[in-house]
Amino acid sequence: MSTLILLLATGLGLGGLYFLVASGLSLIYGLMGVLNFAHGSFLTLGAFVGLAAGNLVGAGTWGGLLLGLVVGALTGAAAATATELGLIRPLYDRHIEQVLVTVGLSLATVALFEGIWGPNPRNVTRPGWLASTTDVLGARVPNTAFLNVLAGAVVLGGIVAFLRYTRYGLIIRAGVENRAMVTALGIDVRRAFTLVFAVGGAAAGLGGVLATQSLNYVSPHMGASLLIFAFIVTVIGGMGSLTGAAVASVVVAVLQQLANFYLNNTGDLIVVLLLALVLLVRPSGLLGRPA
Amino acid sequence: MNRTRTLLGALGTLVLLACLPLLALPVPGVLPGYTYEPGSLQLLALCWLTAALALSYHLLFGLAGLMSFGHALYFAAGTYGLAIVLDRTDVPLLPAAALVLVGGIALAFVVGAVSLRVTGISFAMVTLAFAQAGNVLVRRDQGDLTGGEEGLALATAGVPDALVGVVNTRNLYWLALAVLVLVYLVVLWIERSRAGHMAAAVRENEVRVRIIGGRPYLTKLVVFVLAASLATVVGMAYLLLQSGASPATSTADFTLTLLVMVVLGGVGSRWGAVVGAVLYTVLDQRLAELAHSDAVAGLPAVLRIPLSEPMFLLGTCFILVVIFLPGGLAGAAERLAARRRPVPEGAAA
């Protein structure tokens, strides 16, 4: 019983991380039809810069972590905005080329990060509470899981509120629904593109700093490994659906944890099987609109 | 007339390439030594195999418009499949290769049948996921089968002696060249066949193909399986050339580099894929050497770090080509040729 609770809790925590990456991917795809391969690089950059900022205050302190999270999110947002303005916008509406540019960017930036920070993972110092566990119904749940779930929930709530109650949110929702119509009504939808990229980048940067706390290391490749699962989550949830991404993040992560424990470390394979199954039954994903 | 000349030119180039191991030509800046030396032949053979692989990707992406991020899976199926069969059984090379090819085709059929249920970006992601599963399997080393991160060395017992060892690099070179020619001819044949025309039609307008009674799903599946089986063949030759299988060839990044090559050369152009692959392979090797040279080590960090990462330079080049050179190298060459050619009378609009 306690094992099951532990697996569910760590699964939820991992799901929170997946969601932080997948939410941006899903929003960007929904609005612009661009699959952003460079999203993992936003995450890695956010993690490195955020940690460096945190270390200025003090490695392993709450103040440092808090500053790191803020700086990480801002770095991710800045990198994403620069990418949108400099690389994506000039290729307006040429989706394949836009994807190719993000592919090139991801290859180039990972190499650059390796050059700057070295190819090997570096250990990080965590606040004492995060490195320990809490007893929940007999299971010793790592405290990072709570933090990840909290962050995932806050970001989900924040993005949903932003989309529902602000004018820009309205434009973005309308743009996902029918971009041509929004443009025809005289609204500059391109500003919404930049905004969506910034929001997605911020979530990824935040996820990067959080991932360093859960994994206890930071490496130039952490973005790429999380990105692949975020892709899977996005497809299972339905491309462009935020709620779908949230549900799929939890399902995928929990399933992965369970399979890793009960089925001889086959979590990654089970997830791919789940993806195949979902596509066979519902090609547009769990909550995606039928194509 | 023009066609005969092209054919003769291609044949001449081929004969020249086939004779390279017998000649002592220095190609400074490109090859590490004279053309007959094993080091140079190894690099050239790698170029030919990469070009053959890029051609198989061209079949998917350039002809059928299918952006797959999982092409590495079938290449790895070739390298690892053959390595495992040779390692675990006493089957000689050719039957083993046939066995692996059948396995690769079956794998491609199953994965293709599932992933072609979705189109566009979703298709790309699903193929990526399957390739990732393959990568995980290879790295996990279930039952000591794949050697994990270390990779798997070629078991030479079943391989003819003429294909083993540094002394026989020239035979491997010829093998690689033969594979490239074979793949090129097969790709040419597919493109000219009914299935090829159908695939191009599906790429341009799938709905229309369905309306006139074609079956886009089946067409795409055929092209997908053909491209994957070519990749498996190239993978097997790669195993012989590198005398081992490495997990790096099963990663998503490996597929992405194929995409980079095809786009560099020009999407939709056979020659573009070949030139892109050769250029990429040579640049990758040369830039790695540049990274470790003294000239770079003496530079300030702002210049030294980017210059010592070949992938950074290649990625940046790639972005520049996508933005400023649509159509890649083939497109640029075509535009140049069109500018030189005098405009026929009456054709000027």
pLDDT at B343 over 70: no
Q: Letter for the amino acid at B277?
A: A
B101 and chain A in contact, CB less than 8 A: no
Quote the CA–CA distance of B317 and B53 in Å, as a whole number.
21
ipTM of the complex: 0.85
Q: Is residue B207 part of a domain?
A: yes
Residue B279 lies in a domain: no
User: Does the residue B312 lie in any domain?
Assistant: no
* Arithmetic mean of pLDDT, A139-162: 88
The answer to the question of residue B114 being in a domain is yes
- The model's pLDDT over A244-288, given as tens digits with 9 standing for 90+, comes to 899 999 999 999 989 888 887 788 888 888 888 888 788 777 777
CA-CA distance, A68 to A56, in Å (whole number)? Answer: 9
At B145 the three-state DSSP class reads coil
Nearest to A111 among B115, B121, B309 (CB): B309
Task: Say whether pLDDT at B140 is over 50.
Answer: yes
- Option in B130, B305, B319 nearest A104 (CB): B319
Q: What are the tokens at B206?
A: 């799938």
The residue of chain A with its CA nearest to that of B61 is A96
Q: What mean pLDDT comes out for the span A133-146?
A: 81
The parent domain of residue B240 ranges over: 33-250
In a domain, B283, yes or no: no
How far is A209 from B292, CA to CA, in rounded Å? 32
Residues of A in Cβ contact (< 8 Å) with B263: 100
CA A139 distance to own-chain centroid: 27
Which residues of B100-249 form beta strands (DSSP E)?
Answer: 152-153, 244-245
Selected for mutation to probe chain B from A229, A231, A273 (highest B CB count within 10 Å) is A231
Contact flag A105-B323 (C-beta cutoff 8 Å): no
pLDDT tens digits, one per residue of A224-254: 888 888 988 988 888 878 888 999 999 999 9
Tokens 């519902």 sit at which residue?
A282
- Residue B348 pLDDT class (50, 70, 90 cuts): very low
Query: Quick one: angle between helices A267-281 and B120-140, nearest 10?
Result: 150
Amino acid identity, position A268: D
A35–B124 C-beta distance less than 8 A: yes
SS3 A186: coil
Task: Please tell me if residue B323 touches chain A, with a CB cutoff of 8 Å.
Answer: yes
**What's the domain count of chain B?**
1
Distances (CA, A) of B198 to B203, B222, B266: 9, 11, 21
SS3 content of chain B, % helix, strand, coil (to 5): 75, 0, 20
Q: How far is CA A248 from the centre of its chain?
A: 13
Q: How far apart are CA A146 and CA A135, in angstroms?
A: 12
Which residues of chain B neighbour A111 with C-beta distances below 8 Å? 309-312, 315
CA distance B117 to chain A (A): 7
Q: What percent of chain B has pLDDT over 90?
A: 35
Q: Provide the shortest C-alpha distance from residue A126 to chain B (in Å).
A: 29
Per the domain annotation, does B171 fall within a domain?
A: yes
User: Distances from the Cα of B8 to the Cαs of B4, B11, B189, B192, in angstroms?
Assistant: 6, 5, 19, 20
pLDDT of residue A290 exceeding 60: no
Nearest by CB to A115, from B309, B318, B323: name it.
B309
Q: Is the pLDDT score of B302 beyond 90?
A: no
Residue-level pLDDT at B344: 59
CB atoms within 10 A of CB A19: 32
The Cα–Cα gap between B97 and B89 comes to 12
B253–A96: do the CB atoms touch at under 8 Å?
no
B288 within a domain of the structure (yes/no):
no
How far is residue A175's CA from residue A270's CA, in Å, rounded to a whole number? 35
Is residue A291 over pLDDT 50? no
What is the interface size between A and B, counted as CB pairs within 8 Å?
A: 122
Q: Are B36 and B24 in contact (CB under 8 A)?
A: yes
The tokens of B174 are what? 């010829």
Q: Return the DSSP state at B247.
A: G
**Is B111 a member of any domain?**
yes
B chain contacts of residue A33, beta-carbon cutoff 8 Å: 121
Token pair for B306: 């980017």
Comparing alpha-carbon positions, the chain B residue that sits nearest to A114 is B309
Share of chain A above pLDDT 90, in %: 27
Q: Does B132 touch chain A (CB under 8 A)?
A: yes
